[in-house]
Homo-oligomer: A and B are copies of this chain.
Amino acid sequence: MSTLDKIPVMLYGFGFIGRMLARALLKLKQYDIVGVIDINPKIVGHDIGDILGTGKTGVIVSNNPEKVIRNSKPRVILHATTSFLNQVFPQIKTAIEHGANIISSCETLAYPWYRYPELAKELDKLAKKHEVTVLSAGVNPGFIFDTLPLIISGSCLFVKRIKVIRKINALKRRLSFQRKIGLGIPAYMFDKLLNEGKITGHVGYAESAMIIAKTLGFKLSKIVEKQEPIIFNNKVIGIKGYAAGYSGKRKRIYLEFIASANLKDQDIVVLECENYKIRWVSGGTPGDQATISVMLSFIPTILKSESGLKTVADFIPFRTPVYS
């Protein structure tokens, strides 16, 4: 394959996920990394190969997104900066206005109509105007809590209820993840730091619930989200949180995430159908690897998608009929 046939890809954000994406992309003949954006002064101006330890690539980290996008003309931007759409909105907007398709790991962009309806509307309008596709996906939201149960719903006649539980051993995860869930802080500080947004825990419970509800036609009257610390010897050793989606008093969707020290990795997906129950259990799905795999896997799909702001549900072939 000549360089001309390669799909030009830009990385927006060169933290842990961005670097994993770069490592994978460098192994693939079909993609060309044409630009990398980050604001970290320690890496701006450096060749990404030096940062990754793979040898010079000629791609230099820049903190000037407009310039890089204009000059390198990426067809796809893999975006991995932060979890909150209000913070990343200007980044996504710049990318769209320069005609790039976007796959982002931003959790609240997975179903942005829930927390940021105005921004969602604007993004959709912009994406259509500039004829690009914007999608957020990763391990969660984007896979374990939504895509996978929705696919399994294809085998489940008349879905009544969906429950997903994801358990991970927090000690095996990278430091920034451990910080995000407050691992090791004194127990009394947890609520304060969570309320102040200094720790976030898992972000995107309700987004996954909304993706499921919209696809299955569940009319939810409310979604309850909650996160609490798991405590041992007055220290936070993990986090447990959930979203529960209700139709009236009936709990129809329950999504639980537990990350704790020395917990065994496991994902559990349970669908209650009309006359039977389907239960799938995994021995664990590595979070970061799955996130970059999902992001990379969606590239061909968004390149041929109609334009606009999409969710993973737009690409799931099953529309299981449900009793309303």
- Which residues of A are in contact with B by a Cβ distance under 8 Å? 24, 27-28, 30, 139, 143-144, 147-148, 151-158, 267, 273, 275-286, 289-290, 292-294, 296-301, 312, 315-321, 323
Contacts and interface: CB of A to CB of B under 8 A. Distances in A.
A283 B293 contact: no
A299 B319 contact: yes
Tell which of A275, A280, A320 has the most Cβ of chain B within 10 Å.
A280
Nearest to A283: B279
Contact of A155 (B276, B285, B320): B285
Contact of A321 (B28, B155, B277): B28
B293 A317 contact: no
Given A279-B282, A297-B318, 11 more contacts: A143-B155, A151-B151, A154-B294, A155-B290, A156-B290, A156-B293, A157-B289, A279-B283, A300-B319, A301-B317, A316-B317
A281 B278 contact: no
Contacts of A284: 278
A299 B319 CA distance: 8
Contacts of A298: 317-318
A318 B297 CA distance: 5
7 contacts: A27-B323, A153-B297, A155-B293, A156-B293, A157-B293, A157-B296, A297-B321
A282 B278 contact: yes
A278 B273 contact: no
A27 B148 CA distance: 26
B157 A147 contact: no
A29 to B, nearest CB: 8
Contacts of A316: 317
Contacts of A286: 276
Tell which of A289, A290, A321 has the most Cβ of chain B within 10 Å.
A321
A142 to B, nearest CB: 9
B318 A294 contact: yes
Contacts of A139: 155
A23 B249 CA distance: 29
A312 B300 CA distance: 16
Given A283-B279, A285-B155, A317 B315 contact: yes
Contact of A319 (B158, B292, B297): B297
Nearest to A280: B282
Nearest to A276: B286
